[in-house]
Structure 1
Amino acid sequence: MAQRKGLGKGLDALIPGGKTASVSSSSSSGVQQTPVESIKRNPSQPRLKFNDDELNELAASIKEHGVIQPLIVMSNGDGTFVLIAGERRLQASQRAGLRTVPVITRQANNQELLELALIENVQRADLNAMEEAEAYRHLADDFGLSHEMIAKRVGKSRVAVTNTIRLMNLSDVAKQALVDGIITEGHARALLMLSTQKHRLPHCKRLSICH
């Protein structure tokens, strides 16, 4: 799949030699082996759901070949680290029984933690629509980023970002239906175009998402 414009720029800047940096070149690339138990989940990680079968497949690959691409972490200064990029690799490494994983340590503030986690997931199409919408809204509300600024960071158009954030206006039932794949983003946006719940109700019933 072709890489979207601008996607991954922040992550590439964190990895010496780009995404193909070899973990075997630790002496020159800054890659270090770090205990798995010392790496904490990124609290700003926008992705909430992970496919269990895919994690098991990745764990099997890691058992055979090891972790090819190092994780990106931030030091807490007390011997523990916050994960910036590589959530799937970390979870799969835990399932594979690894005690240590290759990491590159970088510094990042809370906004950068969210941005980098978001970029990684959007680049790999890992986020569902509601996770993406929540992450965009977090950047807008908590860090004051305009939709245009968010769009530049994730390599999407401003209109695409705005339309995704608007999904937060769906009812809870419709949001869950979108996450579960019962309705598409097209269906969801069509519902949002209807001005009142009264107008939305017949369409909800037709899509079987009304309780």
Structure 2
Amino acid sequence: MTDEAPRKRLGRGLAALIGEIDPPADERVSPPPAPSADGRIAIDRIVPNQRNPRRHFAEDEIEDLAQSIRAHGLVQPVVVRRSSANPDGFELIAGERRWRASKRAGLIEVPYLLRDVDDRTALELAIIENVQRADLNPIEEAAGYQALIDEHEYSQNELAGVIGKSRSHVANTLRLLRLPDEVQRMLSDGDLSAGHARTLITADKPEALARRIVEEGLTVRQAEAIAQGAGDQPSSGERRQRREPDEAIAELESRLTGTLGLKTRIAPGKKGGEVRLKYRDQNELDQLLSRLFNS
């Protein structure tokens, strides 16, 4: 089999291998039919795929899905292959979030699709499914692309064709791996958007600018201006105009932090803005939810 064969097969036949991929919510017209399962399997016989590009699983998403599974069961099967390390076990190819939520929901068995694929194809499928579901943060997506390029000699054009993205999207995403570790962490944690991060690639001091973006709630355009050397030193008039609202926001942030017991950041924009709360563990999140829903 040539190197081109699996790429073409994945590009055209992904749904046949792992079942239909749910489209984004804003593109969904009607619920897609669930693929037919090959049967049911004991959940403890399944182990996660150590090469899964997705590393971050939000606790609230897992809990929401677990509640749905308790009420309605697991509708879409997980996709597995036989484990090379354990003849009685199976390794996940796709559906780790569903598997985690099913375990939390207390399921003993789950529906599954069994696929006979090698390591290369398993990695490709894991990356493609996550990309098509938009489950990856930008750094996970970039790392997944880089793994396919490094390990399977994809060109950027070939990779773009397989995953259904433009070549410029692939190239811009890969450039994020050039950012310092601290900035990559902020991007993975959701403190920075991919648009913000792209402005930092050519900045002289990307870590400092990243912190400023978060602290001041800068827009992408403002960050671009600073990265290019414009707008870095506001005029005295601008500083005077900015001081009053900044002080008011800081006071409000302090009051909310004291009331909620969580670090609070307010990021105003031209139209509306964002209020961000940071919690350290599940206990802090539970306390916040209790206050919100029982108030």
- TM-score tier after normalising by the smaller chain length: 0.7 to 0.9
Shift of 1:206: 3.1
What is the CA–CA distance in structure 2 between the aligned matches of 1:117 and 1:13, rounded to whole Å?
Answer: 14
Shift of 1:193: 2.6
Q: Which one has a bigger Cα radius of gyration?
A: 2
1:99 pairs with 2:105: no
TM-score after normalising by structure 2: 0.60
Could you say which residue in structure 2 is the equivalent of 1:143? 152
AA in 1 matched with 2:41: T
Structure 2 unaligned spans of 5+: 1-9, 22-31, 216-295
Q: Is the contact made by 1:44 and 1:110 (CA closer than 8 Å) also made in structure 2?
A: no
RMSD: 2.4
Q: 2:212 aligns with which of 189, 206, 209?
A: 206
Of 9, 14, 17, the match for 2:17:
14
Q: Partner of 2:136: helix, strand, or coil? A: coil
Residue 170 (structure 1) shift:
0.2
Residue type of the alignment partner of 2:15: D
Deviation at 1:113, TM superposition (A): 1.3
Partner of 1:175: 184
- Preserved CA contact (<8 Å) 1:10 1:116: no
Match of 2:80 in 1: 73
- In the alignment, what sits opposite 1:113? 122
Q: Distance in 1 between matches of 2:19 and 2:137?
A: 30
Asked if 1 retains the 8 angstrom alpha-carbon contact of 2:183 and 2:207, the reply is no
Deviation at 1:141, TM superposition (A): 0.9
CA deviation digits over 1:136-165, x for unaligned, max 9? 111111111111111111110111101101
Please list, as runs of the form range in 1=range in 2, the aligned pairs for 1:33-44 lying within 5 A after superposition: 33-44=40-51
Structure 1 gap segments, 5+ residues each: 1-6, 23-28
Deviation at 1:200, TM superposition (A): 4.3
* Equivalent residue, structure 1, for 2:168: 159
Per-residue CA distance 1:56-104 (angstroms, 9 max, x = gap): 1111111121111111110126111111111111001100111111111
Deviation at 1:16, TM superposition (A): 6.7
How far off its partner does 1:30 sit? 5.5
84-93 or 8-17, which deviates more: 8-17
Structure 1: how far apart are the matches of 2:52 and 2:201?
A: 27
CA distance in 2, matches of 1:93, 1:62: 7
Who is 1:26 aligned against? none
SS at match of 1:193: coil
* Cα distance change of structure 1 residues 65 and 148 upon mapping to structure 2, 3 Å threshold: same
**Could you say what secondary structure the match of 2:201 adopts?**
helix
Q: Is the 8 A contact 1:74 1:82 kept in 2?
A: yes
Secondary structure, counterpart of 2:49 in structure 1: coil
**Structure 1 residue 204: Cα displacement:** 4.3
Secondary structure of the 1:43 match is coil
| Number of equivalent positions | 194
Aligned partners of 1:110, 1:152: CA distance in 2, in Å? 21
Which structure is higher in RCO with an 8 Å CA cutoff and minimum separation 6? 1
Offset at residue 177 of structure 1 (A):
1.4
Letter in 1 for 2:109: T
Q: For 1:46, what is the secondary structure of its paired residue? A: coil
Q: Is the 8 A contact 1:8 1:120 kept in 2?
A: no
Separation (CA, whole Å) in 1 of partners of 2:111 and 2:44? 13
Aligned with 1:31 (options 23, 34, 38): 38
CA contact (8 A) 2:11 2:161 kept: no
Aligned to 1:3: none
Moved more, 75-84 or 39-48: 75-84
Fraction of identical pairs, as percent: 43
For the structure 1 residues 48 and 201, does the alpha-carbon distance in structure 2 shift closer, same or farther, using more than 3 Å as the test?
Answer: closer
TM-score by length of 1: 0.82
The separation in 1 between residues aligned to 2:55 and 2:117, in whole angstroms, is 21
Evaluate the alpha carbon distance shift between residue 127 and residue 139 of structure 1 in structure 2; reply closer, same or farther with a 3 A threshold.
Answer: same
